[in-house]
Amino acid sequence: MADVHSERRKHFLGRQSRSLAAAACLLLISGAAEAVFAAPSSIPAYTKAQKQSALTEDQKISLVLNRLAFGPRPGEIQQVRTMGIDAWIDQQLHPETLDDSTVDAEVARLEDVNMSGTDLMAAYKEDKARQKAKQQERKLLNAANGTTGQVQPAVGTPQLDAGQVQPVAGIQGPQAGAAGAGAGASMLSLQAGSSVVASNFGANGLQTRSPRAAENLANLPDMMPGTSIEALGELASSKVLRSIDSNRQLQEVLVDFWSNHFNLDVNKGPVQDLIVADQRDVIRAHVFGKFRDLLEASAKSPAMLWYLDNYQSTRTFTPQVRPQRYRYVRTMQYINGSAVAVPVMRELPVGRPAAPAKARKSGLNENYGRELMELHTLGVDGGYTQQDVTEVARCFTGWGIDQQTGEFMFYPNRHDDGQKIVLGHLIPAGGGMQDGETVLDILASSPSCAHFISKELCVRLVSDTPPEALVDRAAATFTRTQGDLREVVRTIVTSPEFYSPSIYRSKVKSPFEYAVSAVRAVDGHYVAPDPDNLRGRAAITADAGVSIRRRPNRYSGRNSPSIIQEIADLGEPMFSYEFPTGYPEISSRWVSAGGLLARFNYATALGSGQVSEVNASPTDLLAGIPLTDHMAVLHKLVGDILNGDISDSTRKALINEMPASGPVDPTQLTALIIGSPEFQRR
Amino acid sequence: MKSSRRLFLKQGAIALASVGLAPAFGPKFLRSAVYADAPARLAAAAGGKKVMICIFQRGAVDGLSMVVPHGDANYYQLRQVGPGGIAIPNSGPDALIDLDGFFGLHPSLAALKPIYDAGHLAPIQAVGSPNPSRSHFDAQDFMESAAPGMKVIQDGWLARTLNNCPEDQANMRELFRGVSMTSRVPRSLEGYSHSIAIPDLKTFGLAQSNKVRDLNPDGTPGNAAPSDMSGAGAFEAMYDQGSGDVIHGAGQETFEALKVVKSLDARPYVPANGAVYPRGAFGTSLMQIAQLIKADVGVEIAFAEIGGWDTHVAQGATTGRLATDLRDFGNGLAALYTDLGDKMADVAVLTMSEFGRTARQNGNGGTDHGHGTCFFAMGGEVHGGRVLGQWPGLAPEQLNENRDLVVTTDFRDVFGEMAQRQLGLTDLSALFPDYQTGPDKYRNILSV
């Protein structure tokens, strides 16, 4: 069999190295006694590499392409070898120098990713209102048909007075407008005494809570029905497209990292749509910029303001207690069963009874204040206290969302203008919006922040347990450059620790990384559904509705799941992690029996071309190689997908799978290689 | 032959040496033979084998709303009844369900009342962690590792329980001792080398190559026929070598689990005694736990989780977000109880959450992070029909930092009691580094 190992050994081992290798072998044998009885062939490749004193050139390139990119495409290792690793890294750190016009053109077709905050908010609200209208309609129809009992009135709608009958607008036809009283009794107008009330419909037949809400809704731009979920689907498509096909791979890796760092969950209200703006204006815009800018963009991101509830956070205020007034009325009453009425003065409250005097009402919501420090900047050990959390939350009161435009808006009347002390810094009273900016300054310039961010980047790019020296060096760069993220990444990836044998294949791929790298490994491409036709829109909507917007649901009704659905099935539904902590960066957390099984199934589907939206044909990789030449086929596929670096046991298992004679099945073989233990790692 | 895979995996390295012909990496025919015998042997051992089901409510559930202290005069001072308020009224159509004159169940948990009355359900109030952290991440970490404040502890308390339980020696099959109905192995089970995470039994199978997933009659894609294992052998061969690699270990577990699941009844599972599980992931998890327990595959600890309890905003009272989630929660537990039927004599269910919530509502009709919360214990041996724990009170001077419920029962006392009295763990110091617990601290959740 074509022995890849021996070829490399010829290249790698000179005379001196051969004796070194012999010595190393002796060490192996004597030192680790256990290893003696373990057949050397059962040691997986990465362990073998970790016992080397240094990585080979190819292994270094493979490492780089697995950390700074979503895995190599066939032949890419050779390309980088020609260009030189340093040159490649330099290019990736300056993505603007790389031509990416093909992908840009593809993404341009997914127009929704460019939607403004206004449009996104409008789409969300209108679709929600339509949904409510449908529910209300169904309830009323059921009530009219007697299938259900009482129908609950919509919140805030006025109760019918006794004897008044109002037709329910919207049921009679698409034109609603102001519900005309007495405009012909429809079969759905209901007698007083039932709790069904006239719903408030805006001009476009949408259900809202009050006439004012209806008016606000009418002032929003009209969006096509279903846009709210399509926008999310197109966002997901664009992310997968770029991750698989873009030349600016490091940018995509970092986008994935920062999206996870500033985690959002699309299952929480309008975050479903506002995330489109967040991905564009917060994450992508600042991946190679300054951390302070990224942080500010996130703090002002409507999606984040909603996700961490800050848009609702207001200053503490004391409610005005209206003094209760009484009137005195002389009435005749029968007292104690007496047969004779006597006059009695009764004290009756005037108007609505006043609420009892309450304590100072706090509108403060600490969620963002806490997560800003714990998860976004300093880390849980970053040296802040509960008091700091409250003070930071006070600084960000008033940072909210303009509900009409879906953009950031500062509300001075909600802001707590008192003096605050944050991490020992005094923020004087009367600062207004500047208070929040000052907090961001304090946090971004803190040494804890430099260390925390550097550590997180190292965990993603280097290892689950990165060397402290590397983290410290990156933190020093962070501090020195005032948070220049490009330079911090450069420091990490040009460090000597980066190419240490213990790093090679030491991380387990996350489901997203696994799915994407598998497509790249077979030289596949992503084909976004065409949003301009019905089928494309349906596919995009199904992806968003089934795989992202809700918990992964394998029963999508589609025969061939899309790659977005597969990613959800693998355990990492996109943009859908509930907690602000984001998906685990410690990659060992991804190893589980259920997870592996899902990966095997994905590998099988991909190998046989059954993942829709992906164009991958392993047979193409074997152009010119006869399928009857088993070893050549194996060599080519293992070379393309794993650069030939697999353990002997994996190789033996693959060989055993070949038929005794006749052509080999490339799809099954490809599935096995992608499902191999080596490919689970990066 | 006692499987010594556990021994080698504990050491982690490539240490295979002294093991000899252990089933894990002997010739394949021998392995098959060993496991082929197992089902019969296990059934004999499994009769009366105790099971513990842990359900984690992630996000810090509001214990004061689940088991309402309506008898405490301060409750209605701190929280308001009516529109915008989160207090549960004690009269009217949506009233709480009184338990003992002081506490009452949230009306959405009505399904639990009959179980309480039957003496098989006991809420435990004011349970929590001595660690003051109100960070979800940290508090969950501390609770799942049962080592509050100690970040160096790598494994979870359920893992340590399984690793130290005496029944261990009698077990032939380690595979399903610790099973979790989640997509990743939870923190609580980390460190138990055979823990297995199965997100969904229905789709726990290997697809066949070159075939699309078969469609069910109703048009939904089914899983690949789990009875067909032709693809499995090929993948399995790559993971067959013991090597200390965590991925190889997980791979081997995967294929063993596949065999077990394959041996389960292929017909759709029908819950017994007319139990109806709520639709959704939580209901499905519980149903599948019941399925595995009844199939006698050797489940000792089962884990499920349910999120969505982080009600900072618009918590609602008798209607609204919390109420809706509690309905699923209560109905799920009740369905599990009904479905398991007689087997409940051997099963104990424990629900938990990382901390509770503030006693007062915040400015957004919700609550912020707090301290003490309410756990539930349900099972045949549970001292049900009463509310356990020590109620600290809700007066301003009785609250923790004038903000939330004081913790009067360290959660480790609850965990220790469950591990000792339900699963037979004897060495509590192995379970809790740096903490002493024992029968003098237990809340008497279980009969001895």
pTM of the model: 0.78
The first and second tokens of residue A247, run together, are: 């030349």
- Chain B residues inside the 8 Å CB shell of A557: 219-221
| Each residue's pLDDT tens digit, A349-401 | 777 766 555 555 558 888 899 999 999 999 988 999 989 999 999 999 999 99
Which member of A559, A597, A650 has the closest CB to residue B221? A559
Is A588:B155 a contact under the CB 8 Å cutoff?
no
Beta bridge partners of B123: B376
Residue type for B445, please? I
CA distance A57 to A61: 6
CB contact under 8 A, A591 and B196: no
Beta bridge partners of A408: A401
Domain count, chain B: 1
Helix axis angle for A511-521 and A630-642, nearest 10°, is 130
The first and second tokens of residue A114, run together, are: 């460019």
SS3 A237: helix
Helices (H) and strands (E) in chain B — how many of each?
13, 11
- Calculate how close chain B gets to A593, using CA atoms only, in Å: 5
Q: Confidence class of residue A548 from pLDDT cuts 50, 70 and 90?
A: confident
- Calculate how close chain A gets to B193, using CA atoms only, in Å: 10
Sign of CA dihedral A604, A609, A613, A616: positive
φ, ψ for residue B184 (rounded to 5)? -125, 150
Query: How many CB pairs below 8 Å do chains A and B form together?
Result: 204
Task: Give the residue-averaged pLDDT of A56-82.
Answer: 95
According to the model, what pLDDT value does residue A32 have?
Answer: 43
| Each residue's pLDDT tens digit, A80-101 | 999 999 999 999 999 999 999 9
Among B13, B12, B31, B14, which residue's Cα sits nearest to residue B22? B31
Is A332:A290 a contact under the CB 8 Å cutoff?
no
Residue B149's closest chain A neighbor by CA?
A381
In a domain, B73, yes or no: yes
CA distance B73 to A489: 58
Q: Identify each DSSP E strand in B60-155 by its residue range.
A: 67-68, 97-98, 104-105, 121-128
DSSP string, B293-306: HHTTS--SEEEEEE
Is A232:A549 a contact under the CB 8 Å cutoff?
yes
- Chain B residues inside the 8 Å CB shell of A612: none
- Find the helix or strand (DSSP H, E) in which A407 lies: strand A407-410
**Which candidate in A28, A597, A604 is best for mutational testing of the B interface (most B CBs within 10 A)?**
A597
- Calculate how close chain A gets to B138, using CA atoms only, in Å: 8
CA distance A115 to A231: 8
Beta bridge partners of A112: none
Task: Determine whether B179 is exposed, middle or buried from the number of CB atoms within 10 Å of its CB (0-12, 13-18, 19+).
Answer: buried
In a domain, B440, yes or no: no
Beta bridge partners of A421: A426
CB contact under 8 A, B183 and A595: yes
- Chain B residues inside the 8 Å CB shell of A555: 220-221
Comparing B61 with A19, the larger pLDDT belongs to B61
Residue B205's closest chain A neighbor by CA?
A597
In a domain, B2, yes or no: no
Buried b (16+ CB within 10 A) or exposed e, B194-217: bbbbbbbbbbbbbbbbbebbeeee
pLDDT tens, per residue, chain B with 448 residues: 333 222 223 333 333 333 333 334 334 333 333 333 344 333 333 445 799 999 999 999 999 999 999 999 999 999 989 888 999 999 999 899 999 999 999 999 999 999 999 999 999 999 999 998 888 888 999 999 999 877 677 789 999 999 888 655 455 567 889 999 988 889 999 888 788 888 888 878 887 654 444 445 554 545 544 433 345 678 888 888 766 788 888 888 888 888 888 888 777 889 999 999 999 899 999 999 999 999 988 899 999 999 989 998 889 999 999 999 999 999 999 999 999 999 999 999 999 999 999 999 887 888 989 999 999 999 999 999 999 999 999 999 999 989 999 999 999 999 999 999 999 888 999 999 889 999 999 999 998 6
In a domain, B79, yes or no: yes
The first and second tokens of residue B30, run together, are: 């021998």
- Chain A residues inside the 8 Å CB shell of B357: none
Q: Is the ipTM of this structure higher than 0.85?
A: no
Which member of B198, B224, B239 has the closest CB to residue A594? B198
- Chain B residues inside the 8 Å CB shell of A35: 14
Its domain, for residue B185, covers 47-225+271-430
CB contact under 8 A, A38 and B17: yes
According to the model, what pLDDT value does residue A15 have?
Answer: 52
State the CATH number of the domain containing residue B86. 3.40.720
**Which candidate in B142, B174, B238, B371 is best for mutational testing of the A interface (most A CBs within 10 A)?**
B238
Longest alpha-carbon distance in chain B: 72
In a domain, B423, yes or no: yes
Is A636:A664 a contact under the CB 8 Å cutoff?
no
Among B339, B322, B303, which residue's Cα sits nearest to residue B192? B303
DSSP string, A251-269: HHHHHHHHHHHT--BTTST
CB contact under 8 A, B135 and A560: no
- Chain B residues inside the 8 Å CB shell of A559: 212-213, 215, 221
- Calculate how close chain A gets to B269, using CA atoms only, in Å: 18
Is B100:B358 a contact under the CB 8 Å cutoff?
no
Beta bridge partners of A348: A327
Beta bridge partners of A615: A525
CB contact under 8 A, A365 and B368: yes
Mean pLDDT for all residues in chain A: 82
- Chain B residues inside the 8 Å CB shell of A561: 213, 221
In a domain, B92, yes or no: yes
The first and second tokens of residue A607, run together, are: 């190998």
Is A634:A628 a contact under the CB 8 Å cutoff?
no
According to the model, what pLDDT value does residue B247 have?
Answer: 87
According to the model, what pLDDT value does residue B52 have?
Answer: 97
pLDDT > 90? residue A259: yes
The first and second tokens of residue A555, run together, are: 């029963």
Buried b (16+ CB within 10 A) or exposed e, A494-531: ebebbbbbebbbbbbbbbbbbbbbbbbbbbbbbebbeb
In a domain, B237, yes or no: no
In a domain, B174, yes or no: yes
